A and B are shown apart, each in its own frame.
Chain A
């Protein structure tokens, strides 16, 4: 009989691969933090008992929600608006991103940064700014036109209309977010491909359409999908501009239910679940578009380079600057000027200007603490999120581990419940979980929530970038004996640094401005600037100018951090000199 050494015997036993442990840990941990709150909210939606009564389960909430008059109309309005502003914002953003990343343009990095600044401005501030300009009766632009041309009796622009809402979306984040997310991907383009196309006789435009854009499909699909999944979250613009002329979108219907007395969370959840349909459409589309082809643009033979378009670059430069003026000037003007006005938008009161609002904010003993909490919260998120999500993206794209589809689907699934409902699920999760309960009342739940809040964007964007980078550099590193971690930090990180910086900044902005997902977990001691601004703007407090000042501080903080991060990131990323 064969004698088997114990060591050999152990070697013959089938030990699970390390990948299995890692994937299991990822699925369990992320599954718990992502899926559990969604499940809690969803299960609650089937509880049809009255308030104070013992739980009773049924489908009444779902039936009532979808039978509400106007729901289908609101859904139609949502899709119409989305189609309108996306059909404009997407091609414009793609063109701008291509221009900033691929064309020799003056101050291209500075212009790109200004799109980041535009993204950092709270949408509500921008919308209020445009209301002040385009209100048909009171807007400054309309009044100015009527004074210049007395024959015009009615202001030509009306912000309280479908075109007005579309304009507000374009002027808030519809364009800036896409430019911000697409530009780094375009920058990772090997110019050799474009050179080959032009050498073959193709024009710059034809090269862009036939060569550059097809290779950018993963990034563009991700950006489009991320916008689509947020379809039912946007409500601030529609609240201000749509409700007065009886134009309702799906998210305002959900918000109505959340804000009713008592709140109808069950019905709101039922309506929000429609996002599942959107996700069910996006996931296979995304996989179909990205798994069949090669999208490598960064290889060991990567050649940086920019396209020269001659004097056209000044025309393009001018157009981009004009767009930035529209994106930034109106809201910043509204915010800054408003903060010094006795009442924002009123030039007929005495005194018109005052420092009182600034004094109120700076003297508020909550302000300093909120500033500190925001910096801690957003700073931690900005550092940890890109690292965590890029590693998850690596697993999804660069490995063949079992369970990847499930992990990817789980991350998409988390977008089912919008922020106005997810806060409740997260509160229940922390209070119902023994090992999380001791954290309740501290800053830690907020840190955890804001880190995970950006998981969809973080993972999907990182995936798009990983698809661009060739395998040979990683293989070379591993062949030289470097372990995975060393390869990740010495090879991968520099290559994807611009995207990491982008994600860090994006998550910083998100963390600094988030309210709905953390407000139920925040206490007076763990208040953030965004919650303080919300409190200032609430009807009972009615200090909107002070809320605007706090928003300015948030923007200032994020701009400052973004500047530093970009300076570091651009030095380490792929150079295009």
Chain B
């Protein structure tokens, strides 16, 4: 018995010692990391700090503020961080932000808006921080969940303006009673003399029209010649008021409405009311194009007052949950995530896997041509007496 106990006691000591070493190897790294008993999750830590900050301020203009208004409460409820949007156009928002920063005031964390203002005013004045370091959620970091296996950027350094949605777009609309869409298979069909005087256009060189002019300017098969011929040979009528163009299209005063920009939403509304108008999304001979709307890009503002709250929002926004909410809210932009259902989007608005798209806004070389394209458009319009 004594022998047995002596033998058993020795075995227990050895077992205890080994357990202690094993426990040390398991727990040691945790203690060394300062995490206490469990390893700290960067995401949880970020969320906690974001909650302490209490709010995230996003420059997104009135349109996006309204479009995304149903989404914000979802985020606020989940994370306890208030979302504050802003008013005004991209130009006004840029004026405000730049003036505030000059005075040492930093009010905004993120910028959601059109890439034109970001590229022409924010990037050159070093207002933005790179986006990649802010992305920490595994499902956001994992590029296999993104279209093309990568994240897409809309600035020439490919790091400041993240494009999280892109939709097929040819940037013109038609009156379906006057135009047989089956006969429109090329951009050059717009130059058919029978359409002379039947085209209305928004001013391509002004804000709020999007980057159509850049994509046409840099397009290998369109370029300067197409733009020049369109505005000098076709007796185009220019409108500054977006709705005026849509109404004239619907009432048959014009057959084509080019460069509608955000007014394509107005055309959609008219189509839903049964009026003979349609935004043209089908791929044309010169290539299918992808366009980024005014609410499909995001940037991170440097010296932001709520860095953790901003990081939480951005990562959530780009997550499956966030992108599903985004698509459900607008129903007009195709998320770059490929692991979410897209049923909420009409088929014609979804990117097709068997189509090769020209994506000008994500091409760094084309980004450099921003000012040149706008200046060229302005020169052509003035030469044609349109401006």
- Whether chains A and B associate is yes
Kindly state whether residue B302 has any CB partner on chain A within 8 Å.
no
Kindly state whether residue A6 has any CB partner on chain B within 8 Å.
no
State the CA gap A190–B183 with chains docked (Å): 77
Kindly state whether residue B346 has any CB partner on chain A within 8 Å.
no
Contacts of A544 in B (CB 8 A): 243
State the CA gap A520–B90 with chains docked (Å): 11
State the CA gap A524–B83 with chains docked (Å): 12
State the CA gap A432–B101 with chains docked (Å): 11
Count of residues in A whose CB is under 8 Å from the partner chain? 50
Contacts of B100 in A (CB 8 A): 431
Kindly state whether residue B328 has any CB partner on chain A within 8 Å.
no
Kindly state whether residue A246 has any CB partner on chain B within 8 Å.
yes
Contact of A541 with B62 in the complex, beta carbons under 8 Å: yes
Kindly state whether residue B185 has any CB partner on chain A within 8 Å.
no
State the CA gap A57–B385 with chains docked (Å): 32
Contact of A524 with B266 in the complex, beta carbons under 8 Å: no
Kindly state whether residue B103 has any CB partner on chain A within 8 Å.
yes
Contact of A432 with B275 in the complex, beta carbons under 8 Å: no
Known contacts A51-B121, A244-B239, A431-B103; A542/B262 CB under 8 A = yes
Contact of B61 with A540 in the complex, beta carbons under 8 Å: yes
Contacts of B38 in A (CB 8 A): none
Q: Which of A92-100, A204-212, A408-416, A531-539 has 4 or more CB atoms under 8 Å from chain B?
A: A531-539
Contacts of A431 in B (CB 8 A): 99-100, 102-103, 105
Q: Which of A83-91, A146-154, A258-266 has 4 or more CB atoms under 8 Å from chain B?
A: A258-266
Kindly state whether residue A217 has any CB partner on chain B within 8 Å.
no
Known contacts A260-B205, A261-B120; A248/B387 CB under 8 A = yes
Kindly state whether residue A565 has any CB partner on chain B within 8 Å.
no
Contacts of A349 in B (CB 8 A): 273-275
Contact of B273 with A343 in the complex, beta carbons under 8 Å: yes
Contact of B87 with A540 in the complex, beta carbons under 8 Å: no
Known contacts A259-B206, A260-B206, A428-B99; A524/B126 CB under 8 A = no
Contact of B261 with A539 in the complex, beta carbons under 8 Å: yes
Kindly state whether residue A291 has any CB partner on chain B within 8 Å.
no
Kindly state whether residue B336 has any CB partner on chain A within 8 Å.
no
State the CA gap A256–B385 with chains docked (Å): 14
Contact of A523 with B86 in the complex, beta carbons under 8 Å: yes
Chain A positions 58-96 with a Cβ under 8 Å from a chain B Cβ: 68-70
Q: How many A-B residue pairs have CB under 8 A?
A: 150
State the CA gap A240–B253 with chains docked (Å): 16
Closest CB in chain A relative to B217 CB, distance in Å: 13
Contact of A535 with B387 in the complex, beta carbons under 8 Å: no
Contact with B along A521-559 (1 / 0, CB 8 A): 011100100010001001111101000000000000000
Known contacts A261-B374, A346-B273, A524-B87; A138/B63 CB under 8 A = no
Kindly state whether residue B9 has any CB partner on chain A within 8 Å.
no
Contacts of B207 in A (CB 8 A): 259-261, 263
Give the residue name and chain of the A residue nearest to B93 (CB). A520
Kindly state whether residue B196 has any CB partner on chain A within 8 Å.
no
Contact of B382 with A70 in the complex, beta carbons under 8 Å: yes
Contact of A345 with B247 in the complex, beta carbons under 8 Å: yes
Closest CB in chain B relative to A257 CB, distance in Å: 10
State the CA gap A397–B62 with chains docked (Å): 46
Contacts of B121 in A (CB 8 A): 51, 262
Kindly state whether residue A302 has any CB partner on chain B within 8 Å.
no
Contact of A137 with B265 in the complex, beta carbons under 8 Å: no
Interface size class of B (residues with CB under 8 A): 35 or more
Contacts of A68 in B (CB 8 A): 382
| Partner pick for B96 among A244, A348, A427, A539, CB 8 A cutoff | A427
State the CA gap A345–B247 with chains docked (Å): 9
Give the residue name and chain of the B residue nearest to A258 (CB). B91
| Partner pick for B92 among A343, A346, A437, A519, CB 8 A cutoff | A519
Kindly state whether residue B46 has any CB partner on chain A within 8 Å.
no
Contact with B along A341-377 (1 / 0, CB 8 A): 0110110111000000000000000000000000000
Give the residue name and chain of the A residue nearest to B274 (CB). A349
Contact of A424 with B95 in the complex, beta carbons under 8 Å: yes
Contact of B253 with A138 in the complex, beta carbons under 8 Å: yes
Contacts of A524 in B (CB 8 A): 65, 84-87
Closest CB in chain A relative to B33 CB, distance in Å: 41
Contact with B along A555-573 (1 / 0, CB 8 A): 0000000000000000000
Contact of B85 with A261 in the complex, beta carbons under 8 Å: no
Contacts of A540 in B (CB 8 A): 61-64, 67, 208, 262, 265, 294-295
| Partner pick for B91 among A52, A259, A440, CB 8 A cutoff | A259
Kindly state whether residue B82 has any CB partner on chain A within 8 Å.
no
Kindly state whether residue A280 has any CB partner on chain B within 8 Å.
no
Kindly state whether residue A243 has any CB partner on chain B within 8 Å.
yes
Chain A positions 298-349 with a Cβ under 8 Å from a chain B Cβ: 342-343, 345-346, 348-349
Kindly state whether residue B143 has any CB partner on chain A within 8 Å.
no
Contact of A437 with B62 in the complex, beta carbons under 8 Å: no
Contact of B273 with A538 in the complex, beta carbons under 8 Å: no
Contact of B116 with A261 in the complex, beta carbons under 8 Å: yes
Give the residue name and chain of the A residue nearest to B213 (CB). A261
Contact of B261 with A246 in the complex, beta carbons under 8 Å: no
Kindly state whether residue B242 has any CB partner on chain A within 8 Å.
yes
Kindly state whether residue A239 has any CB partner on chain B within 8 Å.
yes
Max count, chain B CB within 10 A of own CB: residue among A342, A345, A346: A346
Contact of B96 with A520 in the complex, beta carbons under 8 Å: yes
Kindly state whether residue B386 has any CB partner on chain A within 8 Å.
yes
Closest CB in chain A relative to B239 CB, distance in Å: 6
Kindly state whether residue B285 has any CB partner on chain A within 8 Å.
no
Kindly state whether residue B270 has any CB partner on chain A within 8 Å.
yes
State the CA gap A184–B101 with chains docked (Å): 48
State the CA gap A350–B272 with chains docked (Å): 10
Closest CB in chain B relative to A76 CB, distance in Å: 15
Kindly state whether residue B176 has any CB partner on chain A within 8 Å.
no
Contact of A244 with B251 in the complex, beta carbons under 8 Å: no
Contact of A261 with B242 in the complex, beta carbons under 8 Å: no
Contacts of A243 in B (CB 8 A): 238-240
Give the residue name and chain of the B residue nearest to A535 (CB). B62
Contact of A519 with B64 in the complex, beta carbons under 8 Å: no
Give the residue name and chain of the A residue nearest to B374 (CB). A261
Give the residue name and chain of the B residue nearest to A521 (CB). B96
Closest CB in chain A relative to B237 CB, distance in Å: 5
State the CA gap A504–B60 with chains docked (Å): 36
Kindly state whether residue B8 has any CB partner on chain A within 8 Å.
no
Contacts of B86 in A (CB 8 A): 523-524
Kindly state whether residue B221 has any CB partner on chain A within 8 Å.
no
Closest CB in chain A relative to B138 CB, distance in Å: 33
Chain A positions 225-278 with a Cβ under 8 Å from a chain B Cβ: 239-240, 243-244, 246, 248, 256, 258-263
Kindly state whether residue B244 has any CB partner on chain A within 8 Å.
yes
Kindly state whether residue B378 has any CB partner on chain A within 8 Å.
yes
Closest CB in chain B relative to A490 CB, distance in Å: 45
Kindly state whether residue B124 has any CB partner on chain A within 8 Å.
yes
Give the residue name and chain of the B residue nearest to A437 (CB). B103
State the CA gap A522–B87 with chains docked (Å): 8
| 28 A–B contacts from the bound complex (CB under 8 Å) | A52-B124, A70-B385, A137-B251, A240-B244, A243-B240, A244-B237, A244-B238, A256-B206, A256-B387, A259-B208, A261-B116, A261-B120, A261-B207, A343-B269, A346-B250, A348-B275, A431-B99, A431-B102, A431-B103, A432-B102, A519-B88, A520-B88, A520-B96, A522-B87, A522-B88, A538-B63, A539-B263, A539-B265
Which residues of A line the B interface, CB within 8 A? Answer: 50-52, 68-70, 137-138, 239-240, 243-244, 246, 248, 256, 258-263, 342-343, 345-346, 348-350, 424, 427-428, 431-432, 437, 440-441, 519-520, 522-524, 527, 531, 535, 538-542, 544
Known: A346-B273, A350-B274. 13 other contacts (CB 8 A): A70-B382, A70-B385, A138-B253, A244-B239, A260-B206, A261-B117, A261-B205, A262-B120, A343-B269, A519-B87, A519-B92, A540-B62, A540-B265
